[in-house]
Structure formats: structure tokens, C-alpha cells
Amino acid sequence: MQDIQNIVILTGAGISAESGIATFRGPGGLWEGHRVEEVCTPEALAHDPDLVHRFYDLRRAALANVVPNAAHDALARLDREWSGELLIVTQNVDDLHERAGATRMLHMHGELNSALCAACDTRVAWRESLPPGSACATCGAEALRPDIVFFGEMPYRMEVIERALSRADLFVSIGTSGAVYPAAGFVQTARYHGAQTLELNLEPSAGSVYFSEVRLGAAGVLVPEWVEALLTQA
Ligand code: APR
């Protein structure tokens, strides 16, 4: 552990499960009879904007009823106390990492609390419901959409993530099924660049075989244990 300076952490829906936010591919992964993959596409947004906006309006509103759990808190502690480089890359669109206090992080799949103008690409903080046809304050186009990366769209900040992975001594994946690329491939990129790799997940994921170590269990238990050990040994 003493050789570790630069850490990249990938989080997925599993880290927010104990806060009460349903994961995508678990038992609660259906929404009004739709698979999430059917709702979260550019085609769905074009053909049924009411459905897509409503889906995200409900998820945005639900943030008011959840709080960060011990896993978010532990990563925020690591963010405060780790003197080396750290990047927390979350696939989650909730705001629980920030609310726990993490700052060295980014949302590669977008954020519920943000709206994106499809006409001019301006982003604006958004906490309310977002009806289709809402006007952009910058360009005036009635084109605000949820600031969410849909299936088939390019995840955000990939150049920052790739750079961090190329420098990482340790890559840790927490609460993700490894079903969605490019995030599912980060472990292989990190390994290619010589990083140690650790998976913390409730059950084996699609990518478990690529990790040098896998610990199975709840994020609310495993993540605080791992952070405590890392900070103690550093
Ligand atoms: N602690 C740790 N892991 C957990 C917990 C928990 N308490 N509860 C569930 N998990 C694990 C599940 O075993 C599963 O492997 O979290 C994983 C969640 O997987 P998914 O639901 O597929 O979520 P995620 O990997 O984040 O999905 C990736 O897919 O739908 C898209 O864009 C969406 O960002 C999302 C992406």
C-alpha cells in the first residue's frame, strides 16, 4: 500500500442503494413497465419527451428524500484526507457524493440537478421539474433537456478520466455491475497502466475477473473499512 499515490474510484448505483435509491438492474429496475434502457435514449426523448422528462422529474424530486450513507461519507473523508491525487468518477446522477462533502469528483453520466440546452449546450443548475420545451436563458431556444448521458451518447469528461486512469496506482470500483461501457472498461485501462485494482460490490460483477482483488458485501460496510485501512497504512 505504501506505493500508492494516485487513486481513481468508480462508483455506480450500488453505492447509493443503502440510501434508498433503486439500482438499475436489480429488482426495482423497471419504471412503469419500461426498461431503463428504453427511457434513457435520444430516440425516446425525441418521440416521447413527456415520458422521459417525467422519469427524470420524479428521480430529481426523490433526491429530497434521501441522504448520503456511510459509503459516501467514507469517500468524502478520503477526499479530505488523501494527500495524493484522487478522482471519484461516478456513473450516478444523484448528488450524494457532493452532499457527503466530496469535491474531487465528476459525473460521467450527467446530473439530475442540471439542465442542458440541446441547442447551445449551456448547462444550468436545475432543482425543479423540467417540462419539455422549457426555454434556455442563454439562447432562448425551448430546448432544455435533462443533463443526463443517454444510451448512445458520449459520457462526459472522458479525457480527464483517461488521464487519471493512466496515472493511477490504484483503481477501485464500487457498486457497479460492469454492464455499461466505457466505465466497464476502466479496470482494464487501469491495469494496462500498472494500477492495482480492487472491486467492492454486493455480488460478482460482469468485470470481476479483471480485478486483482474482489471484496463482496454492502458498500456501507466495505467502503468505510477500506478507507480506514488505506488512511491508517498511508
Ligand atoms: N453495496 C454494494 N453494491 C451493491 C449494493 C450495495 N448495498 N446494492 C447493489 N449493489 C450492486 C449490485 O450487485 C450491482 O452489481 O451494485 C450494482 C448495481 O448495478 P447497476 O444497477 O447495473 O448500476 P450501474 O452499474 O451503476 O449502472 C451503470 O447503467 O443504466 C445505466 O447510466 C446508467 O449509470 C448507469 C449505468
Joined grid coordinates for residue 177 = 455491475
**Catalytic site includes residue 34:** no
Burial grade of 8 (CB within 10 A; 0-12, 13-18, 19 or more): buried
Which atom of ligand 1 is least distant from the CA of 11? 26
* Residue 26 marked ligand-binding: yes
- Ligand 1 centroid, distance to 28 Cα (angstroms): 11
Listed by start position, the domains of the chain span 7-21+68-109+155-233, 22-65+110-148
Residue 146: pLDDT band with limits 50, 70, 90:
very high
The pLDDT of residue 186 is above 70: yes
Average pLDDT rounded to a whole number, residues 33-59? 89
- For domain 22-65+110-148, give the CATH number: 3.30.1600.10
Do 75 and 97 contact (CB within 8 A), yes or no? Answer: yes
Given 97, 107, 109, 193, which residue is catalytic? Answer: 109
Spatial distance between the Cα atoms of 51 and 58, rounded to a whole number of angstroms:
11
* Residue 207 marked ligand-binding: no
Contacts by residues 125-132 (CB-CB < 8 Å, ≥ 24 positions apart): 126/60, 127/60, 129/53, 129/57, 129/60, 129/61, 130/53, 130/56, 130/57, 130/60, 131/53, 132/49, 132/50, 132/53
What is the tens place of the pLDDT at every residue in 84-102?
Answer: 999 999 999 999 999 999 9
Reported pTM: 0.96
Q: Which CATH class is domain 7-21+68-109+155-233?
A: alpha beta
> What confidence score (pLDDT) does residue 215 get?
98
The pLDDT of residue 21 is above 80: yes
